Amino acid sequence: MEYIVSVSSLKKSFKSNQVLKGVSFNIAKGSIFALLGSNGAGKTTAVRILSTLLKPDGGTATICGYDILRQGEQVRESISLTGQYAAVDEALTGRENLKLIGNLRHLPNVNAKANEMLTIFRLEDAANRQASTYSGGMRRRLDIAMSLMGDPHVLFLDEPTTGLDPQSRLAMWDMVKKLADGGTTVFLTTQYLDEAEHLADHIAILHEGIITAEGTPDELKTVLPRGGIQLDFHTSQDTAKASEILSVYRLQNDNDKTIEVSTDGSAAQFADVLTKLKNENIQLLRFTQKLPTLEDVFLTLIGEKKEVND
């Protein structure tokens, strides 16, 4: 597999606060990579180092084969960065913002490229309006359009949907997918689990300065071998009787007619639960098999890490 970003043992401290403690990962060309972590986990620090805005204390990293320390200029020519807050000039129109970036990058046919970006990001109707009149979602779209004026190989999106309403957020997800389909490698940082699960080909979970797990969304879910079954009953009496019969399992009563049964996810335990109920003539309204979610994985990994540190 061809890796367009390679990171090895990256370290960074701010005084006594060690933010990155030896972070390593690789990103495949043309993929969407999500660095997932809670606030303060070190996601933005990692992005700032990889985009040459900050020097690491240790470790190495290459982007498009260029070393971030020794070949910073070539790295910057290969990437673009969109931060947590839209960096548009509100006194300029959408078109003028795009042309400004195009001229700074010495692009040929700046007008044609600006028009192309306005079309792709659905900003044609607002092209000649000042950016100060744009909604939050429009500003975010313009911000990303500006980042793409130079056709970067790698686009860094640092929490791109923070503060957006649900509709704008879904529109942003659609855009990110289209960028990757067009060959752009997307490095996404987010604290939103659904965002990472929906978008990313590969996810790394950053917690307390280290990568605690990484893989595809489906691979990460195998970190938790357990599964479960949600049982819904007709009566509270059936629920009480079932709770007694299934006491060998860990149970959670959501209400007086529903039980969640934790199992190891195997077919044998799934069948055992249903057999025990059948043998006692307890009628089910419905049953639903529940599989681990990315949120389960994330919270479990953080919980396990906290227990170790405590």
Question: Which residue blocks in the chain are alpha helix, DSSP H?
Answer: 43-50, 72-78, 94-104, 110-120, 136-147, 166-181, 193-199, 217-221, 236-245, 267-279, 294-309
Task: Give the per-residue pLDDT at 309.
Answer: 36
Classify domain 227-291 by CATH number.
3.30.70.3400
Task: Give the per-residue pLDDT at 306.
Answer: 43
| CA angle (56 as vertex; 61, 29 as ends), nearest 5 | 25
**pTM over cut 0.85:** no
Task: Give the per-residue pLDDT at 103.
Answer: 93
The first and second tokens of residue 126, run together, are: 């607002």
Residue 250 burial (CB count, 10 A): 12
d(CA 278, CA 58): 61
User: Which SS3 state, helix, strand or coil, does residue 8 take?
Assistant: strand
Task: Give the per-residue pLDDT at 284.
Answer: 93
Classify domain 3-219 by CATH number.
3.40.50.300
Instruction: Spell out, as residue ranges, where the chain has pLDDT lower than 50.
Output: 305-310
102-140 tens-digit pLDDT: 998 889 999 999 999 999 888 999 999 999 999 988 998
**Extents of the domains making up the chain:** 3-219, 227-291
